[in-house]
Chain A
């Protein structure tokens, strides 16, 4: 057997193995989807969404736009690997087909071009190709260099932390790091012997030839290159590098409308494998401040994949959604975590059989304060004043008997119990004949919006509703000289996309100061009920940090639009905190 005929076998075996595993997985994931999701794929396949997905794959899979925006060095590193390697393959194929003048050539000649094509070539553009391939190689190598630095000095990237690795990851990482330097030496070696590279490489090769026995290094180097590729490809499906293919798959599925719907299915795995463990979510996480360093999204994804997710990690999360906002792959991490939690709590069952049916009062507007608002009665009082003042025909639904909106049970996966509450509340709301439901709590808001079936009732958070009242002229606000900062509650902002309405409402009267971490970047108050593991002391660290940031703008007070945020901030005693409704009440112009 001649060396030339077999040295590329490791590479070939690795490639075949890799694609067999990937295709196998993709098929398994597809089969595990619900019937509706399969219909969604069928419908989406021949739609514009597919084109969008192709563009998104190029943009995020190769160019890494989103990651570049979050962290330039990290974005460059990922781009140099992805785009550089991709172009090496593509340009390499074009170069080879130009050489042969046909597309029909042995494929290994394109991967190991400089090894096989040793004669002086003279096809059009051969010098260009030589330079282009070498440039691309250097481009990837620059990324390798950065990766090397990142691993040992993550601070250079402005990252406080980088992800921790397991044994298998080390094999893949080492082989990946070796691929391109090896390729570089292979090319130099070939160029030194055959002068088949660019003039620059030929010169370097000739120079190296004066000191090194290139002839005897040639075959071992190229063989090593092939083996290294083979090892990397075999390791790929079992390490984070699987994300290279999984991410593309995820982009398509996501754009075709596949989502996790309250229960875990194979789409979970499609998401989990898409994580490149870039570590961006680690730095975005506020829990770092409190010294909680093992429950960030990247670790949850990793633990799901390795089947070693513990409750300690799963439930130590505020579900504030900051990491989701910043995730370069756009993984729906909150939903992913919620569905995992639901799987662990399904066994519990609460009975709500004792619920009595109340009697609805006929009205145009139903006001639902929610349990958190009952614990912050100043908000409740302000809302009633606003409703009275604007002359609305309203019904305060949970004034004395306070049913739960059902959200906590929904989040705990107790769908049957939650449904009892939902049905009960829904009947009352529909019986009232109201066309608008006003809620003060963003946590309730989301469940009313998403899980209640009341197509004719418009659900409004009070910040939206009061703005409507002001716009309709039912409330007139006067100017105030108070300087304020606004805190976006997670559930209302990132959770429901309501950023502008509260700001518009506040701007009627007050001097609203923009702050650094606002809107999508807003911090969590630290009071989130989603975290079942955090201690009160750790919560206090988070709240105080956020309040101190507000204090640096010297506002007269902090305004928020969530009773839980208000309560959490108020206890720090750093600045006065008010709900948006209270601020409005202060500024109502009395109609004479």
Chain B
């Protein structure tokens, strides 16, 4: 029986842990939060089918309860040492022996205050998609002035594909998140006008394109091609945005009540530290570097260390689960060689 340590107890961490336990290994999860589930805990529902995120959380809970997996909550990796083929992973109050370590630390949302011109945390009615999910959960749609918003803008690619904030890559899931949230808002606030400001819409997966079409045809969402350059507050308690409609080639100004920023995915600071502790390479983008992008995305550049989920690259929930399963397979292949 081999020992496996999984760092991170989000979707990827739990799924890969269960897969490893299922194939007869002794598994420990190190989670720094006080509960499993990661960012999903704060989400309301998922694209493309509006499945409640709680359903996925329940799936995780049920699944993990079937196995004898040790879960260390409120724990952080302090140190990692390699002794031959064995890793010693130190947390605050324990040392875990591992034949293989799986990093599943996930991502962090791009800090939208870094795009100061968009006014996040300066104007109360500028929020991120994560804040919006929280509002869906709470059923709170009022502006900070206590009014029902009449005009809402959703700004795509905040901190993604943006050389100006050192992030050259695409976060992949924000496009469809924006479309999903636009439809949800329309369901809650049928009278509100909703505008999506995008560069191009990357509807890459099953049902995404259909969702985009539905948004336009049935929910009257307006899509304007152009990046928002500036958000400001007008003296009459509205927001004003500046952009260019690049299809008509005209600069435009628009008055709004609420702006939702689709902040991209970034590597966590914490992932960077863990990568350094295990001597794992990272890409220029900050994400963990796979040994082979095509045939072994979960295998990292350090022997006995693997990765699952969004610490490798931006992924949707579905892809994260698939990726975790594939990593588990690769870890088992590796364990056979020991």
Name A residues whose Cβ lies closer than 8 Å to a Cβ of B.
374-378, 380-381, 399-400, 536-537, 540, 566-567, 570-573
Q: Which 4 A-B pairs have the closest CB atoms?
A: A375-B117, A536-B163, A571-B165, A377-B122
- Say yes or no: is B78 at the interface (Cβ < 8 Å to chain A): no
A378 to B116, CA, bound (A): 7
Q: B116 and A399: CB pair below 8 A?
A: no
Contact assessment for A376 and B111 in the assembled complex, using a CB-CB cutoff below 8 Å: no
Specify which chain A residues have a CB less than 8 angstroms from the CB of B111 in the assembled complex.
Answer: 573
B223 at interface (Cβ–Cβ under 8 A)?
no
Contact B235 A571 (CB under 8 A): no
- Chain A nearest CB, measured from B229 CB (Å): 8
**Cβ-defined contact, A570 with B122, below 8 A:** no
The listed residue (A375, A381, A566, A571) touching B230 by CB distance below 8 A is A375
Chain A: minimal CB distance from B261 (Å): 14
Q: A399-B235, A400-B234 are in contact. Are A376 and B166 (CB under 8 A)?
A: no
Say which residue of A378, A537, A567, A573 sits within 8 Å of B122 (CB atoms).
Answer: A378
In the assembled complex, B164 has its CB within 8 A of some CB on chain A:
yes
How many angstroms between the C-alpha atoms of A330 and B334 in the bound complex? 67
Q: Classify the interface of chain B: helix, strand, loop or mixed.
A: mixed
Which parts of B256-289 form the interface with A (CB within 8 Å)?
A: none
**Does any Cβ of A come within 8 Å of B186's Cβ?**
no
- A376-B116, A536-B163, A567-B117 known; 14 new pairs, CB 8 Å cut-off, are A374-B117, A374-B230, A377-B116, A377-B117, A377-B119, A377-B232, A378-B122, A380-B232, A570-B116, A571-B114, A571-B164, A571-B166, A573-B114, A573-B166
Interface string of B105-134 (1 = CB under 8 A from A): 000000100101101001100000000000
On B, residues with C-beta under 8 Å from A are 111, 114, 116-117, 119, 122-123, 163-166, 229-235, 240
A566 to B166 alpha-carbon distance, docked (Å): 16
- In the complex, are the beta carbons of A570 and B166 less than 8 A apart? no
A572 to chain B, nearest CB (A): 7
A/B interface sample: 13 pairs, CB < 8 A: A374-B230, A375-B116, A375-B229, A376-B117, A377-B117, A377-B231, A377-B232, A377-B233, A380-B232, A400-B234, A567-B116, A571-B164, A573-B114
Bound form: Cα–Cα A572–B232 in Å? 23
Q: How many A-B residue pairs have CB under 8 A?
A: 43
Q: List, in ascending order, chain A residues with CB within 8 A of B165's CB.
A: 571, 573
A572 to B164: give the CA distance in the assembly, Å. 9
Residues of chain A with a CB closer than 8 A to B116's CB: 375-378, 566-567, 570
Identify the closest chain B residue to A372 (Cβ): B117
Q: Once the chains are docked, how many angstroms separate the CA of A222 from the CA of B165?
A: 68
Partner of B232, one of A374, A566, A570, A571: A374
Q: How far is the CB of B301 from chain A (nearest CB, A)?
A: 24
Residues of A contacting B232 in the complex (Cβ-Cβ under 8 angstroms):
374, 377, 380
CA distance in complex: A573, B119 (Å): 17
For A570, list chain B residues within 8 Å (CB): 114, 116
Q: Which residues of B contact A400 (CB under 8 A)?
A: 234-235, 240
A536 contacts which of B117, B164, B230, B233 (Cβ < 8 Å)?
B164
Q: Which residue of B lies closest to A573 (CB)?
A: B114
Q: How far is the CB of B62 from chain A (nearest CB, A)?
A: 39
A80 CA to B24 CA, complexed, in Å: 83
Residue among A377, A378, A399, A400 with the highest chain B CB neighbour number at 10 A: A377
**Across the interface, which residues of A come within 8 angstroms of B240, CB to CB?**
400
B66 shortest CB reach to chain A, Å? 41
Bound state CA distance, A404 and B122, in angstroms?
Answer: 24
User: Which A residue's beta carbon lies closest to that of B111?
Assistant: A573
Chain A residues, Cβ within 8 Å of B166: 540, 571-573
**Residues of the B chain whose Cβ atoms lie less than 8 Å from the Cβ of A573:** 111, 114, 165-166
Complex CA gap A567/B117 in Å reads 9
Give Cα distance in the complex from A570 to B112, angstroms.
Answer: 11
- Chain A: minimal CB distance from B161 (Å): 13
Interchain nearest-CB distance for A389 vs B (Å):
18
Q: For the complex formed, measure the closest distance between the CB of A387 and the CB atoms of chain B, giving whole angstroms.
A: 14
- B259 CB → nearest A CB, Å: 12
Residue of B nearest to A566 (CB): B116
Contacts of B231 in A (CB 8 A): 377
> Measured between C-beta atoms, what is the minimum distance from A443 to chain B in Å?
16
The distance from the CB of A309 to the nearest CB of chain B, in whole angstroms, is 29
Q: Distance in Å from the Cβ of A350 to the closest Cβ of chain B?
A: 15
Q: Kindly list chain A residues whose C-beta atoms are within 8 Å of the C-beta of B123.
A: 377
**In the complex, which residue of chain B has the Cβ closest to the Cβ of A568?**
B164
Give the docked Cα–Cα distance between A377 and B233 (Å). Answer: 9
Question: Could you tell me the distance in whole angstroms from the C-beta of B110 to the nearest C-beta in chain A?
Answer: 10
The minimal Cβ–Cβ distance linking A573 to chain B, given in whole angstroms, is 6
Question: Complex: how many Å from CA A400 to CA B255?
Answer: 12
Chain A residue nearest in CB terms to B240 = A400
State A380–B122 Cα separation when bound (angstroms). 10
**A566 contacts which chain B residues (CB < 8 A)?**
116
B195 to chain A, nearest CB (A): 20
**Interfacial chain A residues near B163, Cβ < 8 Å:** 536-537
Q: Which of A380, A537, A573 has the most CB of B within 10 A?
A: A573
In whole angstroms, how far apart are the Cα atoms of A380 and B230 in the complex?
13
| Closest CB in chain B relative to A351 CB, distance in Å | 16
Which residue of A has the minimal Cβ distance to B110?
A: A573
Residue numbers in B under 8 Å from A378 (CB-CB): 116, 122
> Could you tell me the distance between the alpha carbons of A91 and B309 in the complex, rounded to whole angstroms?
83
Q: What distance in Å separates the Cβ of B242 from its nearest Cβ neighbour in chain A?
A: 9
Could you tell me the distance between the alpha carbons of A160 and B109 in the complex, rounded to whole angstroms?
42
Query: Closest residue to A527 on the B side, CB-wise?
Result: B164
Bound-state CA distance A381–B116 (Å) is 12
Name which residue of chain B comes closest to A400, CB basis: B234
Contacts of A537 in B (CB 8 A): 163
> In the complex, what's the smallest C-beta–C-beta distance from B113 to chain A, in angstroms?
8
Task: Tell me the bound Cα distance from A566 to B240 in angstroms.
Answer: 22
* B171 shortest CB reach to chain A, Å: 16
In whole angstroms, how far apart are the Cα atoms of A571 and B122 in the complex?
17
Complexed CA–CA distance, A425 and B215 (Å): 45
The distance in angstroms between the C-alpha atoms of A572 and B163, with both chains bound, is: 11
Which residues of B are found within 8 Å of A381, using beta-carbon distances?
122
A571 to B111, CA, bound (A): 10
B230 neighbours in A (Cβ, 8 Å): 374-375
